[in-house]
Amino acid sequence: MTTALQRLLLSNTLARQGDDSFEGVAHVDAGGRIYGGEILSQAIGAAQQTVEDAYSLHKVHADFLIMGKVSEPVNYRVDRLRDGKSFVSRVVTARQHGEAIFQASMSFHRQREGVAHRADMPEAPAPETLVSDAEIYRQFLGGREYGLAVEFFQVDPIDLHNPQPKSPVSLTWFRACGEVPRDHRIHQQLLAYASDNPIMIAALKPHGLSLFSPDLQMATLNHTLWFHHDFRMDDWLLFEAHSDFVGGGLATARARIFTRSGELVASAVQEGLMRYSG
């Protein structure tokens, strides 16, 4: 297990501050602000502590209100909206110095057997044949590390030195950088953490832009994630993203997440700020 993964698992172990109130500290510095995936994963961890184990998170919708400061602790307040026989509803509000910076609504479900179908997994080369984002960024940044607790391998990465327009589709293999405890709640937290990273790459591709393009400003505005089946974050997962719209300083993208064997385990949709003055 890498140091980054150890720190993430530790940061997601929130300190209880009272009834349904928790405190966390971010460890990923995204340019002086909290990385959106980290605050989302901590909020999920807070809500999970207020729900019986028989119920599993199946949907989370998050709104990122203002940028959080990575140097300051975050308070998570969980409101119990409903405890039903099949569904449990929670709202989590994250605050710094009393000001709301993030809010998420979550639904937990007691699973039942029934009819089923799923989308087919797209064809993709094996992750072992690809170059990791960490290595691509290391070369681009002159040896400086750009490490997260999850490793990503893009099927068709953007050339950071000379980005060219491509189709608004991206395929990315990813997994945790080490073995993860056998607790499905932790794996859900880590998938939420990871899902904020590759989804908007699809929106950049048609415009010949990369995350490192000068004069580009990007930030997550809202993010919705559905969990369909159990999975393991220390096994390979394929993140398939499509961007259907960019305009007016906004961008949207949707994603499907598959196991290596082809099981659809999660879906996501994100809207983000995307301003380019170049």
> Which are the catalytic amino acids?
196, 220, 270
Q: Which helix (H) or strand (E) holds 58?
A: strand 56-64
State the DSSP string of 95-135.
EETTEEEEEEEEEEE---------PPPPP---GGGS--HHH
Q: Which helix (H) or strand (E) holds 245?
A: strand 237-247
Return d(Cα 105, Cα 59) in angstroms, integer.
8
Contact (CB, 8 A) for 186 and 9: yes
Return d(Cα 271, Cα 40) in angstroms, integer.
15
| Helix, strand, coil in percent for the chain, rounding step 5 | 20, 40, 40
Give the three-class secondary structure for 32.
coil
Contact (CB, 8 A) for 276 and 209: yes
Return d(Cα 36, Cα 193) in angstroms, integer.
8
CA nearest 267: which of 239, 231, 230?
A: 239
